[in-house]
């Protein structure tokens, strides 16, 4: 950096920033992919994603070298927002079960169902960036669950893995529908499920409380 550079406000940053339009496209693709992943699952045609994002298919490939990379980015962005929501809920809700309650509905809004490809064999959970976000999200959700269990509002025989998978399943759209009129069911189901989570437990659960680690193991 010379003095001349320092004086020039328009100098390009060293880490090439994306052009405005490219950056916009990138975000539109991630958003479209998030929705499409929730709706179609991990095999969603990438052409469909591109179409929804309003870009050519090759543009998608310019930004994401292949399907895995696109899914990775979607996963990261969904996890980041979900973690944030979880942290906020924990920090802002005075009541422990209210925090859980709020988190569940906000996670649904953030399309936590788009994380389903994380469970497939192809997905690399060892990737450092992914591992980092997983840990952040995990910590935040565990904190919510722990607090609600410590206050005696959440049944003690469940764990974060149970919550995450059920949440994903219940928020998945019906196949082949444009999700029309489906959200209306989802809220009811989540609420019923949350009622089932409340302490005191109304039944004895089979199996053992599933953690996020178990999900990893379950893949094999």
Partner DNA sequence: AATGAATGAGGGTTCATTCAT
Partner DNA sequence: AATGAATGAACCCTCATTCAT
Binding positions for a copy of itself, rule: CB under 8 A? 41-43, 116-117, 119-123, 158, 161-162, 165-166, 168-170, 172, 174-178, 180-182, 184-185, 187-189, 191-198, 201-203, 205-207, 210, 214, 217-220
* Neighbouring C-beta atoms of residue 118, cutoff 10 Å: 23
Measured from the CB atom, the residue of 61 and 193 that comes closer to DNA is 61
User: How crowded is the C-beta side of 97, counted as CA atoms within 13 Å?
Assistant: 15
Measured from the CB atom, the residue of 65 and 203 that comes closer to DNA is 65
**What is the gyration radius of the CA atoms in the chain, in angstroms?**
20
C-alpha 161/C-alpha 208 separation (Å) is 11
CB of 38 to a copy of itself, least distance (A): 10
Secondary structure letter of residue 64 according to DSSP: S
Secondary structure letter of residue 43 according to DSSP: T
SS3 for 198?
strand
Which partner, a copy of itself, DNA, none, binds residue 80 by CB below 5 to 8 Å per kind? none
CB of 6 to a copy of itself, least distance (A): 25
Q: Which residue(s) pair with 86 in the sheet?
A: none
Which partner, a copy of itself, DNA, none, binds residue 56 by CB below 5 to 8 Å per kind? DNA
Which partner, a copy of itself, DNA, none, binds residue 31 by CB below 5 to 8 Å per kind? none
C-alpha 220/C-alpha 217 separation (Å) is 6
Measured from the CB atom, the residue of 39 and 87 that comes closer to DNA is 39
Measured from the CB atom, the residue of 7 and 58 that comes closer to DNA is 58
Q: Which token pair is 197?
A: 């989570």
The binding site for DNA (CB under 7 A) comprises 16, 18-22, 25, 43-48, 55-59, 61-63, 65-67
Which partner, DNA, a copy of itself, none, binds residue 207 by CB below 5 to 8 Å per kind? a copy of itself
Q: Which token pair is 44?
A: 């969603």
Measured from the CB atom, the residue of 4 and 180 that comes closer to a copy of itself is 180
Considering only the C-alpha atoms of the chain, give the largest distance between any 2 of them, rounded to a whole number of Å: 73
Measured from the CB atom, the residue of 61 and 193 that comes closer to a copy of itself is 193
Q: What is the phi/psi pair of residue 37, to 5°?
A: -65, -40
């Amino acid at each position: 950096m010379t003095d001349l550079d320092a004086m020039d406000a328009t100098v390009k940053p060293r880490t090439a920033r994306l052009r405005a339009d490219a950056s916009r496209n990138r975000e539109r693709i991630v958003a479209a992919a998030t929705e499409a992943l929730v709706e179609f699952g991990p095999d969603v045609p990438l052409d469909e994603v591109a179409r929804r994002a309003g870009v050519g298919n090759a543009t998608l490939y310019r930004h994401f070298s292949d399907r895995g990379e696109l899914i990775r980015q979607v996963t990261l962005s969904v996890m980041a927002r979900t973690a944030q929501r979880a942290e906020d809920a924990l920090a802002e809700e005075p009541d422990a079960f209210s925090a859980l309650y709020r988190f569940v509905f906000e996670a649904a809004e953030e399309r936590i169902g788009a994380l389903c490809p994380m469970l497939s064999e192809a997905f690399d959970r060892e990737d450092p960036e992914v591992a980092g976000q997983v840990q952040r999200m995990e910590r935040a959700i565990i904190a919510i669950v722990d607090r609600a269990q410590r206050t005696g509002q959440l049944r003690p025989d469940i764990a974060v893995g149970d919550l995450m998978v059920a949440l994903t399943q219940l928020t998945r759209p019906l196949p082949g529908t444009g999700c029309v009129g489906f959200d209306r069911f989802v809220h009811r189901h989540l609420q019923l499920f949350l009622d089932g989570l409340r302490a005191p437990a109304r039944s004895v659960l089979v199996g053992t409380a599933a953690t996020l680690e178990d999900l990893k193991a379950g893949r094999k």
